[in-house]
Structure 1
Amino acid sequence: MTFIFAHRGSAGTHPENTMEAFVAAEIDGADGIELDVQLTADGEIAVIHDLTVDRTTNGSGYVNELTYSELSKLKANYHSLHFFKKSCRIPSLREVFEWLEANDLLCNIELKNAVNPYRGMEEKVVELVHEYCLERRVLISSFNHKSLVHCKEIAPAIITAPLYNEVLYKPWEYAASLGASGIHPKLKSISDREIIDTMACGIAVRPYTVNKEKDMKRLFAIDCSAIITDYPGKAYRLREQYQ
């Protein structure tokens, strides 16, 4: 069965990376959620995609220059009021983990450290995973592949997967060289044949961001390991046809 990961939660219907989007993903039948993390000025792990808060909130400035207290006071749905009027906050990773204790969802944590390396981020995230005993439900991805190698060094049992958006030759071999058990390619950068060959080598394939119905159907038909989508509800309904 192809697993469904809700990209930044149900980001197609709710403000991205908010508890409201994660709850909606669970209701819509997702098997897991995907979220992004960065470190605040006071070292907290905040769930937000951009380096700044400008696009998604009513604030401005860099995430790493604001305290979590300052971040938590911002309206995380400020620019999406057209489809969601309830006020939403930027959650912490701890808040998400507390919520995960009440369900069985998987959680794909993307470390947003390809531009800003965020020294110590890997240790902080891994420590929190251990604290909540989520080793079997969490997988860590990043465009910073050195960071993923570091994650495996400090926590060998944690599942890792490199994110990439270019065509990669024999991606299964590259993943193995990182100690990763999966890959998260941009959908257009990998063919069906490469997906099948990669899975045959024991490497899971979870393409992003799969929003079109035709792409969902194509990946369900070849039993792709998972898809990462803004519309988990639509994906869940389409997947029913292939079970």
Structure 2
Amino acid sequence: MTKIFAHRGSAGTHPENTMIAFYEAERVGADGIELDVQLSKDGQIVVIHDETIDRTTDGTGWVKDFTYRELQQFNAVYKFADQYDVCRIPLLEEVLAWICSTTLLLNIELKNSLIAYETLEQKVIDMIRHYGLEDRIILSSFNHNSMALCRSLAPNIETALLYMESLYDPWKYVRVMRADGLHPYHRTVTEPFVRQARHYQIAIRPFTINQEPLMEKMFQYGVDAIFTDYPRNAKNIRENKKTP
């Protein structure tokens, strides 16, 4: 059965990459959560998508230029200010400590394509090991060099390659990268592609699947998982697709 990962939490209905978005994803029955990590000025692993805080908080500037304590001054309520009072940028450790008490899977996307956070891979892996969550984690990034490093640092933690455009001979590329999965932009995903992936035992998890007809198509294709901002809608559609 295709799994449902709540993209940045339940980002369509709650402030993205905040604890309340993650709590909501669990409440509505998502199979997993996807979030993004970067490093603060003082080396803390913070959960935020953009390299700047401009879009999702009431502040402005680069994540890397603030200490974690300084980042806590900003309200990450984003476009949901009329529904929620204050939401803070969480630490990855906060998420991991909570997720231990759930059955959720967790996809951690390393946001290190624009800024080379030199110690990000090791710090994230150390934190995962501290909480004993190796078998419930997928590490992903558009920075494939970073995924190769993660594979060498932690062979027992699953890695997946994010990409926007179709890859030439993706099955050979995945073998060379020693990755476990591909996370493609949904427009590059076809039914024959998914069949091939199954043959090569490569997990396919397309992003970001928000429209209901697209959800139906991906469930029909039998992809391993989808990333969606609307996990509740996706779960309803998946359950309605079950044959009697």
Letter in 1 for 2:195: I
1:23-102 alignment runs, 5 A limit: 23-82=23-82, 84-102=83-101
- Matched residue, 1:228: 227
Say which is worse superposed, 153-162 or 219-228, in terms of deviation.
Answer: 219-228
| Matches of 2:191 and 2:173, distance apart in 1 | 18
Write the deviation string for residues 110-164 of structure 1: whole angstroms up to 9, x where unpaired. 0000111100100000000000000000100000000000001010001000000
SS of the aligned residue for 1:136 comes to: helix
| Matches of 1:87 and 1:16, distance apart in 2 | 13
| Matches of 1:14 and 1:228, distance apart in 2 | 15
- Matched residue, 2:238: 239
SS of the aligned residue for 2:135 comes to: coil
Letter in 1 for 2:42: D
| Matches of 1:9 and 1:236, distance apart in 2 | 14
1:81-230 alignment runs, 5 A limit: 81-82=81-82, 84-230=83-229
What's the TM-score, normalizing by structure 1?
Answer: 0.97
Write the deviation string for residues 175-231 of structure 1: whole angstroms up to 9, x where unpaired. 221111100000012222112211221000000000111111111112210000000
| Matches of 1:185 and 1:115, distance apart in 2 | 19
Say which is worse superposed, 190-199 or 154-163, in terms of deviation.
Answer: 190-199
Give the drift of 1:74. Answer: 1.0
| Matches of 1:148 and 1:8, distance apart in 2 | 20
Does structure 2 retain, via aligned residues, the 8 Å contact 1:171–1:198? Answer: no
| Matches of 2:172 and 2:60, distance apart in 1 | 42
Unaligned runs of 5+ in 2: none
Say which is worse superposed, 136-145 or 67-76, in terms of deviation.
Answer: 67-76
Q: Does residue 2 in structure 1 map to residue 2 in structure 2?
A: yes
Give the drift of 1:27. Answer: 0.7
| Matches of 2:127 and 2:150, distance apart in 1 | 13
| Matches of 2:175 and 2:194, distance apart in 1 | 15
Letter in 1 for 2:218: L
Letter in 1 for 2:162: L
Give the drift of 1:73. Answer: 2.1
**Paired-residue identity, %:** 50
| Matches of 2:149 and 2:108, distance apart in 1 | 15
Output the aligned Cα RMSD. Answer: 1.0
Give the drift of 1:78. Answer: 4.0
| Matches of 1:122 and 1:79, distance apart in 2 | 31
Does structure 1 retain, via aligned residues, the 8 Å contact 2:31–2:104? Answer: yes
What's the TM-score, normalizing by structure 2?
Answer: 0.97
Q: How many residues align?
A: 242
- Matched residue, 2:18: 18
| Matches of 1:171 and 1:195, distance apart in 2 | 12
Does structure 2 retain, via aligned residues, the 8 Å contact 1:216–1:238? Answer: yes
Write the deviation string for residues 18-77 of structure 1: whole angstroms up to 9, x where unpaired. 000000000111000000000000000000000100110011110000000111221001
